[in-house]
Amino acid sequence: MNHPQRLPYVDPACITDPAMMAEFQRAAREGAPRPESHAIRANVPDVFWAFTHAWNNTFVNGVCDHAIKELCRLYVSQAVNCNYCGNQRSVKAQAQGLLEDDVKDLLDFDKSQPSPGAWSPPMRCGRGCMKILKRVPSSSSAFLSA
């Protein structure tokens, strides 16, 4: 069931905006968002910048530990069945010690039973966030997946 791609990728070599090119390079260096998703948004620069500013304000900057934000992002991407987002990994979060095993444990947190002393601080916080998200009414889940 292959469908043709509806939106073309903008070739990064054709980008003339230095700020946009710097953002492509940052994304490639840090691993998220993936440069190919930027290349789709770059078809409409206003969309590119709206997404980029929101992404940077939420995931790149701020006071919350990046690994915690990454765990939350991955959990939400699973909750709304977005494999495209869920298959991305942040190089910055990995550098802070986030392991793929942490991600697997979190995504299946109600079934995983590591001893609490073995949880890293991001894992403890992430598990707490996921417990809160599990309490969100099911109507919210329908809205998120629409």
Assign 3-class secondary structure to 116-145.
HHHCCHHHHHHHHHHHHHHCCCHHHHHHHH
The reported pLDDT for the residue numbered 41 is 92
The reported pLDDT for the residue numbered 91 is 74
pLDDT digit string, tens, across residues 112-125: 666 656 666 656 66
Burial of 94 (0-12, 13-18, 19+ CB in 10 A): middle
Distance CA 15, CA 21 (A): 6
The reported pLDDT for the residue numbered 142 is 47
Closest CA to 74 of 111, 103, 33: 103
Top pLDDT among 22 and 99 is at 22
For residue 7, is pLDDT > 60?
yes
- This prediction's pTM: 0.59
Based on C-alpha coordinates, what's the Rg of the chain? 17
Backbone angles phi, psi at 65, to 5 degrees: -55, 130
Share of the chain above pLDDT 70, in %: 67
Top pLDDT among 13 and 36 is at 13
End-to-end CA distance of the chain: 21
Domain definitions of the chain by residue range: 12-60, 66-145
